[in-house]
A = this chain, B = another copy of it.
Amino acid sequence: MARTLHERIRSDIEARILSGATSPGEKIPSEQELMKTYRCSRMTVNKAMTVLNNAGLVRRRKRAGTVVAERRTEAMVLDVPDLAGEISNRGQTYRYALIERLIRKPVRGHGDEERLARTGELLVVRGVHSADGQPLAYEERLVSLDAVPEIAREGFTQEAPGSWLLRHIPWTEAEHRIGATPAAIAWAALLDIPVGGACLTVERRTWRAGEHITMVRQHFVAGRYELIARFGPTPKPA
């Protein structure tokens, strides 16, 4: 991977940002400095930085230089949403209610669980998100304790594990699977809907630099939540 020089420069800096070694707002070496570091021309450095800029990982301003961008922006076609933030932004009161939290070995033969915990254990958290006192979604989450050992200390009685993860563990890749499901006996009552009632189901897996971090399955009460995606032929300039 990264066979050309501008790709190597890009992935070096990208890795530093994604690993959290540099924080949002922090300055990145100027093109002049990078030219010296990599012993190359300015065009080559510029090409690498332009890609990072278009991807929204850095912000560039003349004279001020290049800084690490604030976490995730609307630039993503589909984002990993923070439900707590989204609901607050709508002016509603967000609440997370913990149903169950436990740490255990992965179930043998269960693909997702074994992929997440190759050697160690899993954190399993079940809870309900609500807006203005009305249940919005039931979620079941698995977190790899290999990847995020420090999460074992968290109780998640007030805050959803998703919000905690967004704050502490930067993700680099994500996959959404979106479908519809009839409400199951196990959680229909938690959402205050009849068994078999329509739900929007989002299954999301996230990775950090290729390492599988977490898998979550969220069931939203029909009509109370929508996913929106806009897209065009050429990525929009930032």
- Interface residues in chain A, defined as those with a beta carbon under 8 Å from any beta carbon in chain B: 10, 14, 18, 43, 51-52, 54-55, 57, 76-78, 172-183, 196-201, 220, 222-223, 225-235
Contact A173 B231 (CB under 8 A): yes
Whether the pair A234, B14 counts as a contact (CB closer than 8 A) is yes
Question: How many identical subunits does the complex contain?
Answer: 2
The answer on a CB contact under 8 Å between A78 and B231 is yes
With a cutoff of 8 Å between Cβ atoms, the chain B residues found around residue A233 in the complex are 14, 18, 55, 57, 172-173
Scoring A172, A173, A179, A196 by chain B CB atoms within 10 A of each residue's CB, the highest score goes to A179
With a CB–CB cut-off of 8 A, which chain B residues contact A235? 54-55, 235
CA distance A179 to B228 in the complex (A): 9
Main secondary structure of the interface of A (DSSP, over half): mixed
Q: Are A175 and B230 in contact (CB under 8 A)?
A: yes
Q: Which of A18, A57, A198 has the most CB of B within 10 A?
A: A198
> How far is B230's CA from A226's CA once the two chains are assembled, in angstroms?
18
Sort A-B residue pairs by CB-CB distance and give the 6 closest, nearest first: A180-B200, A198-B198, A180-B222, A173-B232, A178-B227, A77-B77
Contact: A228 with B180, CB < 8 Å? no
Q: How far is the CB of A199 from chain B (nearest CB, A)?
A: 6
Q: Are B182 and A228 in contact (CB under 8 A)?
A: no
- Given A175-B228, A180-B220, 6 further pairs, Cβ under 8 A: A18-B233, A57-B234, A182-B197, A198-B198, A200-B200, A229-B229
- Residues of chain B with a CB closer than 8 A to A77's CB: 77-78, 229, 231
- Please tell me which one of the listed residues B174, B177, B198, B225 contacts residue A226 in the complex, with CB atoms under 8 A apart: B177
